[in-house]
Amino acid sequence: MMYDATGQRIFRHDLVMFEKTTGAEHDRGLVVSLGKTDIIVVLVDGTEVEKKPCDLTVVDRSFLCPGMAVASVSDCGGQPGVITGVATKLDLVQLDGTDDRPRVVATGVSPAEVWPVRELTRGDYVVSGMWLGRVVEVSVDVDVLFNDGTAVCRVTNAGDNKLRVVSKKSYWNRHKDGFYPGDGVAGDASVLKASRWIKGHWKPSHGEGIVAKVELGGVLVYWATSLQNASSPLPPAYHPNHRNLTFFCPGGTDLRWSWCVSARCYFRSRSPARAPKKKHRTNNNGILIRMAKVKRADRRLTEVKWPMAVANTRTTVNVLWQDGTRQLGVPSASLLGLPLRSQKDFFPGHRVVTKVLSPTPTIADVTNATSRVGVIKSLSSKDQTVCLSWITAAPGEVVDTVMSTYDLARSSDHSFSYGDMVVSLRPRVLSASGNEESNKANNDLAWVGHIADLCDAQYIHVKWGDGTMSKVLLHEIAIVKPRSVVVILREMGDWVSDDEGEDDAFHKKAQGDMPRHRPAPTDNTIGKVCNIFLAVIRTLSGMVVQGKMYMLSKSMASTSSRAEPAMAENIIQTCPHWFEAAAASALASHDAGGDDVVHFKHFDVVQSPRDHHYLDTNEQGGCGGRKWLKRVQKEWKILETSLHDTIYVRGFEDRMDLLRAAMVGASGTPYHDGLFFFDLHLPPSYPAAPPQVKYHSFGLHANPNLYPSGTVCLSLLNTFGGKGTELWSPESSSLLQVVVSIQGLVLTAQPYYNEANYAAQAGTPEGRRNELPYCENTYLVNLHTMLYLIRRPPVGFEMFVRDHFCRRGQHVLRACEAYLHEGCPVGTLDGEAIATETSKDRSCSVGFKLALANVVPRLVEAFTEIGARTSNEVDRM
């Protein structure tokens, strides 16, 4: 992160101010690149300069748009808000290609009064009749003026490397089709000779010229949606005439997010005032003196029409804060843009439903989750509570209540937000105040718009493309979700080129099945006898399996003469530094495992379970050959001797390509006392390719790296970005590294910082605001995972799960008591669930206590069923 002279964080596309150096004419520019120590700033004329962050001051943020989450610069750790409206004013100067100071043309100009040099750019939305589309490709035609204007040629598709800028290049010349009037350009003789000559003809001396005019040559449009019951059922052509397209900005009428310092434009005037006709003079013979002016007139037609440039922007926004208050006309530089972390980021007006996370939900739980939709009225970011109104079946009836944010989720049937683009599903009746002429002019944009307000419990407020505002019901509109231009091009096929680097420039804006019923718990004495009996059986079967594996290894050793893969000792000795750190972290945090799990080995080889995720894969382990088998045996040996006390792994004699791992959550983390299961598959290409890993998620999101789908995001598995030793290495990486990395690098004390690019927030007010609620939600997911595991334990680990929660159930309830009654922050208790010194630093939220109070009775019931001691903890709660 970089900070300006006032201590404010600097973002890309910020407008910054700095002191003029000797001879300089500019004192502000647009941030286009953030380096390690320097910042690249683009000046009004497009030139780039390097500046130190301490020499800059952020003065405007014109990239803010409706729907963006923001926080106040003066209170970065305070409540977030959402932008509901944006207004920008432009100061314009005239560029003339000289080194003179740019001449001020106008100040405080509305973006609606100007038009960019290129009418449409990649990523723009356009309307044609009753169809809405997105521009995915553009081409430009460039008129090049030579000599004194006596020769002009038109180069079509100039962006296809036909022309190159030879004058002082601006930042915008880097982009494809980045040509502007006044640029000095050159082209190969073959290109210029084959071009259309508007005036004069090609000569060998015509090597370099000046761009006189830039026109849109053609566009490729992806048609996204149309007005329902449109007169034309078929979309327009993918290559339409661009003159028949109307630009539409989702954020507001005639507003472009690309308006920034150094952007080039012209005034929008469509019908300039005509000068009165002059009377022609005649000579003595009465002949009109008009032909003598032809050459001069032609020359004027090809003079360069220099564009204006944006020298300054002043942007203000309207903000709706989480507590329901509104601020109008807030200076953009006083706000920080925030990434929306997930569906848990609520704002007033969002439609929500109650979560159903329990493995045994009641009929009332399911009914409420499917039929009741609430509208958030306000939210306390500190307490993690919301005030909402339930929309019930009775017309107009609402019920106000206060709930925990952790018990709510965004409604999948109402997954829209501020600034979302919408289209009307029924013909709109324009307001009576609009006259016929204005209605006709705005007809094309009367059915597309964006969501302006959601706080009305019954209606959605939409601002339409023609500038009007109306209230609509949900069934009267359709939400248009933005899609990446790159994705659209990929779907459209290989017949269009994918130009990387320009995508959306400045426009970027299961649960498992119901569980089986468990039998009633037996007497504790009977349970202990059963445990001993089963332990003896497991020990005997383990001896048999080990004997089989010994015979297999002896047989293979005598028949194989191939070069062996990395030895077990080498695999351990060549572990990268990050693995050692992860292992140390995992060991240091596991002081609270309690008594060892009796009679359950940390590593064993058994028969494959019927519920293994990769059981039905066609890639059987034996297909890897003897070399593959030897490597797997060595991996097993490492696991047998080197596993941590809180990691348990099972290999399978009938399916050597499969493994199952269980981990105990560490104290000092929101995963404490929980169990986490992973299914592993070794492909035939192993160890050239890393193992495949699937997490038993039960549809819950336990960590940024553990998806509800079961995907495990980790550099070591090549499922997440990384470099060097972070990636899988056939020579040095091992299964031991995989399981230790998951425990030490994924199941951490602060999982919030596992989110992509969030590590930089550590120690900042923004990080402190988000890390605590993230931990609280993670712990609630941990508790619900416990309930699922008790009722649906993975095959082969049934007694392990039962024994673990029989021993640790009282500690789980003791921790819940500390959170509920003492207000200890999640993850600050020791191994016996006793508060520590760090427990006094902060307090858990009210919303967390409300959600925890709802799940504790289910925990008590589940622990009681398996025979765990819970009476003392229940009495205290």
DSSP for 154-218, please give it: EETTTTTTT-EE-SS--GGGGSTT---TT-EEE--HHHHHHSEEEES---TT-SEEEEEEEEEEE
| Nearest-5° Cα angle at 362, 359 to 363 | 130
Helix H, strand E, coil C: the string for 708-743 is: CCCEECCHHHCCCCCCHHHCCCCCCCCHHHHHHHHH
Peptide bond into 687 cis (omega under 30): yes
| CA neighbor of 140 nearest in space, from 124, 162, 125 | 162
**179, 167 Cβ separation under 8 angstroms:** no
Q: 647-652 and 603-606 as β-strands: parallel, antiparallel, unpaired? A: parallel
SS3 302: coil
Q: Is 412 exposed, middle or buried (0-12, 13-18, 19+ CB in 10 A)?
A: exposed
Query: Cα–Cα distance between 100 and 120 in angstroms, integer?
Result: 30
What's the longest Cα–Cα distance across the chain? 131
3-state secondary structure 792-847: CCCCCCHHHHHHHHHHHHHHHHHHHHHHHHHCCCCCCECCCCCECHHHHCCCCCHH
DSSP strand pairing (69-72 vs 246-248):
unpaired
Count CB atoms within 10 A of the CB of residue 851: 26
Distances in Å between the Cα of 732 and the Cα atoms of 574, 579, 649, 737 are 6, 11, 20, 9
Asked whether the beta carbons of 697 and 709 are under 8 A apart, the reply is yes
Name residue 288's beta-bridge partners.
Answer: 282
Residue 510: its H or E element: none
Read off the DSSP letter of residue 668.
T
The number of helix segments (H) and strand segments (E) in the chain equals 14, 36
Q: Give residues with Cβ within 8 angstroms of 153, minimum separation 6.
A: 143, 144, 146, 192, 195, 196, 197, 198, 202, 206
Secondary structure class of 608 (helix, strand, coil): coil
| Cα–Cα distance list, 587 to 191, 665, 856 (Å) | 68, 11, 29
> Strand order of the sheet with strand 351-354?
398-404, 385-391, 373-380, 351-354, 408-410
Residue 707's Cβ-count burial label (10 Å; 0-12, 13-18, 19+) is middle
Please tell me whether residue 465 adopts helix, strand or coil conformation: coil
Number of CB atoms found within 10 A of residue 134's CB: 22
DSSP annotation of 447: T
Q: Which long-range contacts (CB under 8 A, 24 or more apart) does 454-460 make?
A: 454/348, 454/349, 454/350, 454/351, 454/375, 454/416, 454/417, 454/418, 455/320, 455/324, 455/348, 455/349, 455/375, 455/377, 456/349, 457/375, 457/389, 457/391, 457/398, 458/391, 458/396, 460/416
Distances 626 to 285, 558, 562, 621 between C-alpha atoms, Å: 109, 12, 9, 10
The answer to whether 713 is a known catalytic residue is yes
- Please count the other Cβ atoms lying within 10 Å of the Cβ belonging to residue 89: 16
Query: Which residue's entry shows tokens 């150094």?
Result: 262
Written as six digits, the tokens of 10 are 């600097």
Which helix or strand (DSSP H or E) is residue 306 part of? Answer: none
> Following DSSP, what letter does each residue of 342-385 receive, concatenated?
STT---TT-EEEE----SS--HHHHHHHHH-EEEEEEEETTTTE
Q: Of 387, 713, 816, 824, which is the active-site residue?
A: 713
Which residues have a catalytic role annotated?
A: 713
